[in-house]
Structure 1
Amino acid sequence: MIAPRLKRLKSDMFSLAGSVITAAVLSGTEVVPEVTCIAYGPGLDSATLSLPVHYFFVRMIGPDGLNLTKSLGQFGLFVQLKGVPKACLVRPEVIDRYDGTYIVRYKKFCLSLNEHATHFFTLNSDTHFEGPIVPSECACPMKMDQWLLKAQCPSEFSNQILKHTAIWPVGSVDLLSVLEQAQRKWGLHEESFSFCHYKIRSPKVVFSCWVYLYRRCYGKHVGFKMFADEIFSFLVKKIQLPDIDLFINLGDWPLEKLVRGADSSRYVPMLSWCRSNDTVDIVLPTYELVEAVIEMMGRLVLFINNLCTVRRHSLELLSVQGMRNVSWSNKFTKAFWRGRDSTSARLLLVNISRLNPDILDARITKFFFFREQMDYYGPEAPIVTFQKFFDSRLSFH
């Protein structure tokens, strides 16, 4: 059982202290009075919404009233946080997107709920909002539709989920039958497949805030269950979920093959990190994205001599927007790929690269499934950063 007790935090249990975030538009070291800005995003509602990191966007507007499309420089926006108790760390960060917009994000490293007043202003504009900063670890679930609205989740996200689950009409899934199918199809082949069955249950007790999360895994290689654990442990702390059973594929390849004309009862509703035109798995964000979002501003993955030596802060979707890309004219013209040996198709890609080194640079960074072929397809290439992929005009995924 994972995280058996998730208890709701109450604001009156903690001390209140004022804090202020101020921001000014700068150009080098000089304040630019003719530049104004507008702020928008879920981070402006830090009083009720609990996220791994609170963030919002700032759009710069020129004196002509039009949006700026170029960066104001490294110090184009300055954010200062004041009034936070010494016992509580709230760290702000500004990310320049180099298109006239900035991302302001801040993470709270304590469990107290501190009242704060946030002022975001330039010489010609002022934005003000008040309320406590809800910590990312807060076990304070709210109704799902309310959370989605406050988090400003695009409707396209729901559309994709609805599309992938459309083959199972509401109420058509027989849990016992699905579990038996999953065990028969993949549970008996522990060397080839791995998946987990999760149960989320809320006790039928009035005013109880406990949520129980159970897991049973099948297969030999189930280490990636840690990412599924993070997903569900995070969700039960943020959203009031109904009692539900979920199946998640721990492999890098979709499991449930599409059979034309087959009844929905033939398929197991399997969550996966990938999907193809001939499979019906329900797609989740990749495990790298899951870890990066949940651990945002918390851990750093640093590779030295091809070894992971420090883990303190993950590279994620917000920070990469602040990495200045190589201009198109200076990018490498050959296609680029790096990755581990999760499928035989990747070994084929290495062969293609060797036959066409002028148009493709593809190498394996870690051998696991095809170690016996390492002498032929190796040696292992050094692991490169995510940003390195964008130094080329083309990349394989």
Structure 2
Amino acid sequence: MPRRALLGHLLRLAALWLPAPALCASPAPSPSRTLVWGLGLETHAVLPVRFFFIQAVDKAGVNFTTSPGENTFEVKVVSPSEPFSRIWVQLLDRHDGSFLVRYRMYASYTDLNIHVLLRNKPVAKSPYILTGSVYHESCDCPESNGALWEKYMRCPSSFAQIQHDLSVFTRVDLDRNAEEIPVRFGQRQSLCHYTIKNNQVYIKTYGEHVGFRIFMDAFLLSLTRKVTLPDIEFFVNLGDWPLEKRRAPGKLHPIFSWCGSNDTRDIVMPTYDLTESVLETMGRVSLDMMSVQGNTGPPWAEKNSTGFWRGRDSRRERLELVKMARANPTLMDAAFTNFFFFKHDESLYGPLVKHVSFFDFFKYKYQINVDGTVAAYRLPYLLAGDSVVLKQESIYYEHFYAALQPWVHYIPLKADLSDLLEKIQWAKDHDEEALEIARAGQMFARTHLMGDSIFCYYFKLFQEYAKLQVTEPKVRVGMERVEQPKDDLFPCYCHRTKVKDEL
């Protein structure tokens, strides 16, 4: 046998007797080191869907930055006194080492136990026990002390947008408003005139198209089930466009709207879309700020490096966007799913394409956000994903826009989109910077646009507005009471009512 062949034969024989090299195992999460936190672990923080977070941490105390596996953790929410608890629990893998746990209660319980398990071992301080009465969404049991409720909910002390919107109103004359606002806007616009008195909601509507009152009604009822609001009286604009043009301060009327603009003075609230998604999470809506976090598409490096947009033809710039995408298919994928406003141009900007699941948007790195009739209300959900948002400059804004910073939370675009191709190319050439902006936008959404923040914003808005009232809120002629929904199947016993009755 030649020397080289003999050497090879001897090495193969030796390999049979040598121990196999140890495989480099990936670190595993540590039950004792893993972190668990959030409002969903607090008894008195009542939300339609309660939620908390899990951060996987290894034995060395290092946080995971990628998913340890979808089935790594198990969560059980039970009541020792109720063997058949009606609680729906869902664990969402955020694919960055953290998990969002949400649960919706369909009845109220006492001493709720939350078990967080890692391979059948309790995590951190599990079980977490919510002591006392834990109320579900339908329970009409408001906390009478607003400051205490804000503490439970960990509300910020103020919101800059509220201070800005109310700064032009030194005093609010409710009697004057009740007489003048219906005359100015009631015939041409759709309005709701609300009074909240003794924490009961009353309404009178003006205009033809008042169907959108259902969103405001539902949120006001939900809020008054949780906390006692000050007596207030106000008008809500149910249309898309803000109403109160900039005028001399003494002639302004306070109008609450879901969208603001640079040339109006409306008082901005979180949009009806966002409020409904908060109320109906784990219910009849599938797109909400929590579900997006568990459906952010492939990792950044595996996403399609093109700009993406889908929508309807509600603005001329959207026509230009689709035209631009056709001319630059390697940079953009933009198309209409519906024609309504520019039907005569369908042959130029069609054909229509099928609707795409919103979660599939995040297969693309670059999300293009262009106004519709007003601000595009999808922005909160785009930010919550892990793609970078390219946002058009706009005169319209939602309640949180002022807190967003260009080049920090999103990549800015000119109003006419003339720099869109340039900005997409910049993102392609500066991949790490684009990823940092995407993550900052995502963190903003996780911190400021979840359900707790929406409830806090509305409460603080009503609280600050109430301080400006110089006349007594009244249940006006023609107003009807908006009744709380009945829950005959799972009625709620409110311990606060019992305490009051005994005093």
Q: TM-score range by the shorter chain?
A: 0.7 to 0.9
1:250 to 232, 235, 238: 238
298 and 124 in structure 1: CA distance in 2 versus 1, 3 angstrom threshold: closer
1:114 paired with 2:110, answer yes
Give distance in 2, aligned partners of 1:347 and 1:253.
Answer: 21
Letter in 2 for 1:293: V
Residue 142 of structure 2 aligns to a residue whose secondary structure is coil
| Matching residue of 1:200 | 196
Equivalent pairs counted in the alignment come to: 337
Deviation at residue 177 of structure 1 after TM alignment? 2.8
Residue 55 of structure 1 aligns to a residue whose secondary structure is strand
Deviation at residue 273 of structure 1 after TM alignment? 1.9
Give distance in 2, aligned partners of 1:81 and 1:279.
Answer: 47
More strand by share: 1
Give distance in 2, aligned partners of 1:390 and 1:379.
Answer: 23
Residue 262 of structure 2 aligns to a residue whose secondary structure is coil
Letter in 2 for 1:161: I
| Matching residue of 1:9 | none
2:86 to 84, 89, 105: 89
**Aligned counterparts, 1:166-185, within 5 A:** 166-169=167-170, 172-185=171-184
| Matching residue of 1:71 | 67
Contact between 1:365 and 1:380, CA under 8 Å: does it hold in 2? yes
Residue 181 of structure 2 aligns to a residue whose secondary structure is helix
Give distance in 1, aligned partners of 2:326 and 2:184.
Answer: 38
| Matching residue of 2:35 | 38
| Matching residue of 2:307 | 335
Contact between 2:116 and 2:122, CA under 8 Å: does it hold in 1? no
1:227 paired with 2:215, answer yes
RMSD over equivalenced CA pairs, Å: 3.1
Give distance in 2, aligned partners of 1:32 and 1:86.
Answer: 31
**Aligned counterparts, 1:11-30, within 5 A:** none
Give distance in 2, aligned partners of 1:199 and 1:276.
Answer: 26
1:165 paired with 2:166, answer yes
Give distance in 1, aligned partners of 2:65 and 2:288.
Answer: 24
Deviation at residue 57 of structure 1 after TM alignment? 1.4
Unaligned runs of 5+ in 1: 1-29, 203-210, 300-312
- Identity of aligned pairs, percent? 37
Deviation at residue 293 of structure 1 after TM alignment? 0.8
Give distance in 2, aligned partners of 1:357 and 1:144.
Answer: 54
179 and 163 in structure 1: CA distance in 2 versus 1, 3 angstrom threshold: same
| Matching residue of 1:18 | none
Per-residue Cα deviation, 1:183-209 (whole angstroms, up to 9, x for no partner):
3443232xxx3222211122xxxxxxx
1:391 paired with 2:360, answer no
Letter in 1 for 2:163: L
Deviation at residue 74 of structure 1 after TM alignment? 0.7
390 and 73 in structure 1: CA distance in 2 versus 1, 3 angstrom threshold: same
Per-residue Cα deviation, 1:315-346 (whole angstroms, up to 9, x for no partner):
21112111132344444444333334545554
Per-residue Cα deviation, 1:50-103 (whole angstroms, up to 9, x for no partner):
210111112222222232222211112111234463554112221111222222
| Matching residue of 1:133 | 134
266 and 335 in structure 1: CA distance in 2 versus 1, 3 angstrom threshold: farther
215 and 53 in structure 1: CA distance in 2 versus 1, 3 angstrom threshold: same
Give distance in 2, aligned partners of 1:233 and 1:119.
Answer: 32
125 and 356 in structure 1: CA distance in 2 versus 1, 3 angstrom threshold: closer
Give distance in 1, aligned partners of 2:142 and 2:74.
Answer: 33
Give distance in 1, aligned partners of 2:354 and 2:150.
Answer: 40
**Aligned counterparts, 1:208-357, within 5 A:** 211-259=199-247, 262-263=248-249, 265-299=250-284, 313-343=285-315, 346-347=318-319, 349-350=321-322, 353=325
Letter in 1 for 2:124: S
125 and 371 in structure 1: CA distance in 2 versus 1, 3 angstrom threshold: same
159 and 86 in structure 1: CA distance in 2 versus 1, 3 angstrom threshold: same
Deviation at residue 355 of structure 1 after TM alignment? 6.1
Contact between 2:258 and 2:271, CA under 8 Å: does it hold in 1? yes
Letter in 2 for 1:37: T
Residue 265 of structure 2 aligns to a residue whose secondary structure is coil
List, as ranges, runs of 4+ consecutive aligned residues in structure 1 with deviation greater than 6 Å: none
Letter in 1 for 2:207: G
2:45 to 29, 44, 49: 49
Deviation at residue 136 of structure 1 after TM alignment? 1.2
Q: Return the index of the structure with the highest Cα Rg.
A: 2
More helix by share: 2
Letter in 1 for 2:161: Q
Give distance in 1, aligned partners of 2:342 and 2:81.
Answer: 53
177 and 348 in structure 1: CA distance in 2 versus 1, 3 angstrom threshold: farther
Give distance in 2, aligned partners of 1:328 and 1:343.
Answer: 30
Residue 365 of structure 1 aligns to a residue whose secondary structure is strand
Using the size of structure 2 for normalisation, the TM-score is: 0.59
| Matching residue of 1:302 | none
Contact between 1:52 and 1:136, CA under 8 Å: does it hold in 2? yes
| Matching residue of 2:425 | none
Residue 36 of structure 1 aligns to a residue whose secondary structure is coil
Letter in 1 for 2:256: L
Using the size of structure 1 for normalisation, the TM-score is: 0.74
Letter in 2 for 1:390: F
Contact between 2:36 and 2:124, CA under 8 Å: does it hold in 1? no
Give distance in 1, aligned partners of 2:232 and 2:343.
Answer: 39
1:103 to 90, 100, 103: 100
Give distance in 1, aligned partners of 2:273 and 2:242.
Answer: 17
